[in-house]
Homo-oligomer: A and B are copies of this chain.
């Protein structure tokens, strides 16, 4: 028979998956002989069983709960519902990973009309007993029966008014009895049944409510944000109540063994005398710093300090503890590894290694790689931020903090930037035409688009803060204002964006620059010693490349050449190329672009100083480059000596039903090989010149995008090689270069063995591969993905975290097939996933050579790559 329920004394810390984090630690502390209010744990398996049976708790589980309860009653010498010494318990969730505040809790369970009298007698404090009872009724109704709290507040306030009382603490025991009576009436009215007088019924209903809360919307959202699988389930902890609110010799508090903001090795915490845990959190009374407890309750304080020290040493990590003092006696209610800022995480890890408590490897494993993001970007001044309330929130598309004046077009944003203003660009969505305005902005806010929309990808690349997909934003471009949840913001008004949290604020919140600490460098050094995956960056400009090198990038995995074409001195030339009617005219237009493109590459090569640089050839559909507004078309027509109608017709002929699946990528080079010829010439001439001028040994890696067939790659490669060899000959150089391909089409994965015959490297373009494999586009999926998350069909955003089950199969297949043809085939990833820790671990496990990500994510990737090595061991 499955054991569904464990007494605390039956478990230990190793049983985290079964008992949840909280339960396993309570068991462990029990084993250590610490003062823990005893109880039992209903396992995560019981939770999964509940869901598997269509939300039913079996009789077997119920029987085991009953047995555990009997054992607890015996041990505590108290009885459920007793009129002399009733047992009261708390019911708390506890998943494998900590999900603070996401699931439900019930306190004081066990109070009934009978038990409350026993409780009053036992504590000698009827006021306290009835206060507990009314709290319990309200909490139970809310959490277990889903009756709104406000229904009870009405009664509570009416009694207070009737008695002319303003402070809750002035209510007498009789007042509270009256309130309890009123609460029970509300309960009956709302639910059509009496408040349950059988504590066992209360208990089962509460345990079920905690199971149910595993699937409430905020828990689902939290899991998605933190990569926690829905299949883990939650355990339920049933624990005897102790009371910190039994007078001035009682109290409750929380404390960290080190400072969670800075990492400083000093006990950090606060407490309240005569209070329950929720009072500390609620913020009605101001708690005291933990050090003051030494004066108020010296024995309890000493005990606590000793135990805290013991726990940190035992768990070898900074602990976050909750405690209660009941009549001078200390109880530990919970301990766990404390949440901390990235700064603190690095400092604590380094100091624990210094103190010999953990190894470097353990230190590396401990740090949440994703959290590094926040410390590299500028952040808001904490004090001002705390005093501000967001007026809206959406996707944290590109981290960092930004404040500035609102503008609605790339043009006005650019102009304001040129005037020296700080700018926030607010758009429905951005397009490549907006690139200049985006460059000129501190931050970008879009109404549409996901984590991998154009705005998000470009902003991350630039290190510009971005909040995307804020559907509540309604832009009136003509009126030059936007509204967001009732606020109207006009052009020129200040707003602030927190791109790490996805929040939008009114006004100009001051920002502070990121400081990179010595601890950061220490941890990065250790990570570099461990990892085997190389880390490259996606960079389109010398500035991006320089930033990435500062963060430790070892090369460029993706330079998008099209972004260079949107500069104002270039776009007319590319438009001319597109509107050319013959290959000759097209070649002439391209000829004019070579010097610009070459200059771009030289700038990047010089910064990279001989590190590998992968250059992707023109990828987007050509219609992205042509104007859409009639006036722009007119200007272009005039410029080219064509009629408006001719130009307009050409622009319209470029329309595609599904541009993502249209004439783009290497398909452009197949139809217009002269484009590939121009780009090859620019790549090669730049490399040879930089080699000659600076002595760097540049080996350009030319990457052909969107290949689905060997002959397609060969066709374009032949053009590249022919041109490259011609350039080498002309310039008398023997420079090396590689030609490879992006693997981003399912067919390329299926036929990777053939494609590898023509490729010197593969780089996985997992953005497109994800789109094609799932059959939905990242720009359109926003309309339905929320429904998918709510219904637990997908648990994470496949554009942020690689779908290892599906897309991962294709990546693995392509890696294996490619290596079957060429055992030393160089493999990398340059999709947005390249900066995601779980994806990086996957890449390590399937044997990729490198990951490539935006500059600010390079440190994350270095750390995650080291963690991948450690996890595999």
Contacts and interface: CB of A to CB of B under 8 A. Distances in A.
Interface of A: 656-663, 667, 670-671, 706, 708-709, 711-712, 715, 744-747, 750-751, 768, 771-777, 779-781, 783-784, 787-788, 791-794, 803, 805-807, 809-810
Contacts of A670: 784, 787-788, 791, 793
B671 A809 contact: no
B750 A809 contact: yes
A660 B809 CA distance: 23
A781 B659 CA distance: 10
Nearest to A782: B663
Contacts of A793: 670, 709, 711-712, 715
A226 B779 CA distance: 40
A751 B781 CA distance: 20
Given A746-B772, A784-B667, A806 B658 contact: no
Given A667-B784, A775-B744, A750 B806 contact: yes
Given A711-B793, A774-B745, A810-B746, A657 B657 contact: no
Contact of A657 (B745, B777, B792): B777
B662 A780 contact: yes
A321 B463 CA distance: 75
B777 A663 contact: no
Contacts of A708: 774-775, 806
Given A706-B775, A709-B794, A746-B775, 12 more contacts: A661-B777, A662-B777, A662-B783, A670-B784, A670-B791, A711-B791, A711-B793, A745-B775, A746-B772, A747-B774, A750-B809, A772-B775
Contacts of A772: 746, 772-773, 775
13 contacts: A657-B659, A658-B658, A659-B780, A660-B661, A661-B771, A661-B777, A662-B776, A663-B784, A667-B776, A670-B791, A708-B775, A745-B775, A747-B807
A660 B661 CA distance: 9
Given A658-B660, A780-B661, A793-B670, A806 B775 contact: no
A805 B710 CA distance: 12
Contact of A661 (B775, B787, B809): B775
Given A661-B661, A775-B661, A776-B662, A806 B711 contact: no
Contacts of A750: 773, 805-806, 809-810
- The residue in A663, A751, A794 that gathers the most chain B C-beta atoms within 10 A of its C-beta is A663
Q: 9 shortest A-B CB distances, which residue pairs? A: A662-B780, A661-B777, A745-B775, A747-B806, A658-B777, A657-B779, A658-B658, A746-B746, A663-B783
Contacts of A807: 747
A237 to B, nearest CB: 29
Given A715-B791, A784-B670, A779 B658 contact: yes
A594 B492 CA distance: 53
A715 B773 CA distance: 20
A788 B706 CA distance: 14
A807 B806 CA distance: 16
- The residue in A711, A746, A794 that gathers the most chain B C-beta atoms within 10 A of its C-beta is A746
Contacts of A781: 662
A791 B712 CA distance: 9
A661 B805 CA distance: 20
A656 B784 CA distance: 12
Contacts of A780: 656-659, 661-663
Per assembly, the copies of the chain total 2
A658 to B, nearest CB: 4
Contacts of A771: 661
A276 B784 CA distance: 71
A730 B744 CA distance: 51
Nearest to A429: B657
A667 B747 CA distance: 24
A860 to B, nearest CB: 27
Nearest to A654: B783
Contacts of A810: 746, 750
A772 B773 CA distance: 7
A746 B768 contact: no
Contacts of A774: 708, 745, 747
Contacts of A784: 663, 667, 670-671
A156 to B, nearest CB: 35
Nearest to A788: B670
Contacts of A768: 775
A773 B751 contact: no
A172 to B, nearest CB: 48
Contacts of A661: 658, 660-661, 771, 775-777, 780
Nearest to A708: B774
A119 to B, nearest CB: 46
Nearest to A747: B806
A807 B749 CA distance: 11
Contacts of A706: 775
A707 to B, nearest CB: 10
Contacts of A659: 657-658, 780
A656 B768 CA distance: 17
- The residue in A663, A776, A807 that gathers the most chain B C-beta atoms within 10 A of its C-beta is A776
A821 to B, nearest CB: 15
B791 A775 contact: no
A773 B768 CA distance: 11
Nearest to A805: B751
A117 to B, nearest CB: 48
A659 B784 CA distance: 13
Nearest to A707: B775
A774 B670 CA distance: 15
B787 A671 contact: yes
A52 to B, nearest CB: 13
A773 B744 CA distance: 10
Contacts of A787: 670-671
A777 B775 CA distance: 11
A578 to B, nearest CB: 13
A809 B708 CA distance: 14
A211 to B, nearest CB: 19
A783 B776 CA distance: 22
A596 to B, nearest CB: 26
A867 to B, nearest CB: 27
Contacts of A712: 788, 793
A589 to B, nearest CB: 19
A803 B747 CA distance: 10
B792 A711 contact: yes
A661 B780 CA distance: 7
Contacts of A662: 776-777, 780-781, 783
Contacts of A656: 777, 779-780, 783
Contacts of A777: 656-658, 661-662
A791 B670 CA distance: 8
Nearest to A656: B780
A783 B783 CA distance: 29
Nearest to A786: B671
A620 B784 CA distance: 14
A395 to B, nearest CB: 17
A564 to B, nearest CB: 23
A220 to B, nearest CB: 13
A612 B660 CA distance: 37
- The residue in A671, A771, A810 that gathers the most chain B C-beta atoms within 10 A of its C-beta is A671
A432 to B, nearest CB: 14
A397 to B, nearest CB: 17
